[in-house]
Amino acid sequence: MAKSSRELATDHESVPGYEGHFGQLEGYTVAFESYTADQDLAPLFKGLPDDKCQCPHWGVVLKGRLVYRTASGDEEVNAGEAYYVGPGHTPLLTAGTEVVEFSPTTELQQTMEVVTKNAASMS
């Protein structure tokens, strides 16, 4: 059986307003994420189709609130709720939020290549 936790995660990312710990589970990336600042991440997805994230995500909001902007409008997920968001979204992060999110690793890596380039050009 494959399993992961914040402590077992093999990859870590920390930037102002965000902390993430990432592990691998049978073709999926599991992310243990904390947000300490409100942020609209839409600019990071410029260059992807429709300038939106093309990776689907499944997750649970442990604490706080998460909003995904989609073609059908803003979708809000609150503490204690599980969610699925398909391709074609951008996230709004809310300070004090903690999530556990699962994403197909291949699609996530393709998206993160663009996000990383955009983040570097904004610095």
Within a domain: 1 = no
Q: What is the mean pLDDT of residues 45-51?
A: 96
Structural contact between residues 64 and 88, judged by C-beta atoms closer than 8 angstroms: no
Within a domain: 15 = yes
Query: Could you give the 3-state DSSP secondary structure of residue 86?
Result: coil
> Can you give the pLDDT at residue 15?
86
Both tokens of 19, joined, read 């902390």
Within a domain: 51 = yes
pTM value is 0.92
> Can you give the pLDDT at residue 30?
98
Q: What is the mean pLDDT of residues 96-100?
A: 98
Q: Kindly tell me if the per-residue pLDDT of 48 is higher than 80.
A: yes
User: 84 is in which domain, residue-wise?
Assistant: 11-122
Residue 16 CB coordination number (10 Å): 8
Within a domain: 19 = yes
What is the tally of structural domains in the chain?
A: 1
Within a domain: 84 = yes
Give me the CATH number covering residue 91.
Answer: 2.60.120.10
> Can you give the pLDDT at residue 123?
75
- Of 56, 48, 63, whose CA–CA distance to 107 is shortest? 56
- Beta bridge partner(s), residue 78: 65
Q: Kindly tell me if the per-residue pLDDT of 122 is higher than 90.
A: no
